[in-house]
A = this chain, B = another copy of it.
Amino acid sequence: MPDGAATRTKGGPLGRRGRRVLIRPRGAGAISGETRQRILDVALDLFVEQGYDKTSLREIAERVGVTKAALYYHFQSKEDIVTTLHMPVHELMHSAMARLGDSTGPGSWLDFLDWLIEQLAAHSRLFLMYQRNATAIGEVHRKDHGGPEVEPEQLFLQRLADPALSLDERVRMAGSLAVVVSGAALAMQPGTPAPDPAELAATLRVAVRDLLRVGQPSA
């Protein structure tokens, strides 16, 4: 059975659902990068909704309105799609580690959180995708990078394993990170109106300070 025969009439028109107004007909050479971006958009939606593993290429292709084979023109593999989406977050985490440097303890941790809160608004949806597919993404990118554990997320937790830290400090540091992440998820909760990003960020900054028991933000 051909690719989309189950869901599309054999010779029918291409644009389904009216999800998009086409400037020029599909199949005669689309604008550069346009389809690629739509694939990423659709994939992000599905990965967030139902997870990376449960989302098939057939499903992505269907929603975009192309065949699976077209996906393989734009991306080398399914993993390539999720890797491309995750890249900004990955780089963000990576440079966050660089910021943290070798210092430990709540002080530099707070700086890191402030910076993370700032970045979060711009990438909240990608962060959410990572949060909901952390294990899957972790394994994908462990398979690529040969090494055992290069995911920055894990590095954060390794920081907390520092024996110089008390249990109380560990709980509050890990907890404050969780607060920030939950704040990002809260911002995109369906059914509730999205809060003002600046107000949310300010609220988060105060909240993590309460949890880490340090002074209020300087700004």
Contact = CB atoms under 8 A, between A and B. Distances in A.
Contacts of A195: 167
Nearest to A176: B179
Interface of A: 50-51, 53-54, 132, 134-136, 139, 157-158, 160-161, 167-168, 170-172, 174-175, 177-179, 181-183, 185-186, 189, 191-192, 195, 199-200, 203-204, 206-207, 210-211, 213
Given A171-B186, A174-B183, A203-B171, A135 B134 contact: no
A172 B207 contact: yes
> How many copies are assembled?
2
A160 B186 contact: yes
**For chain A, what secondary structure do more than half of its interface residues adopt (helix, strand, loop), or is it mixed?**
helix
Contact of A199 (B50, B167, B174, B191): B167
B171 A139 contact: no
Nearest to A161: B192
A189 B111 CA distance: 24
Contacts of A210: 210-211, 213
A171 B203 CA distance: 7
B50 A51 contact: no
A27 to B, nearest CB: 34
Given A54-B53, A211-B211, A178 B167 contact: no
A208 to B, nearest CB: 8
Given A54-B139, A132-B134, A139-B50, A174 B168 contact: no
A185 B185 CA distance: 18
A170 B186 contact: yes
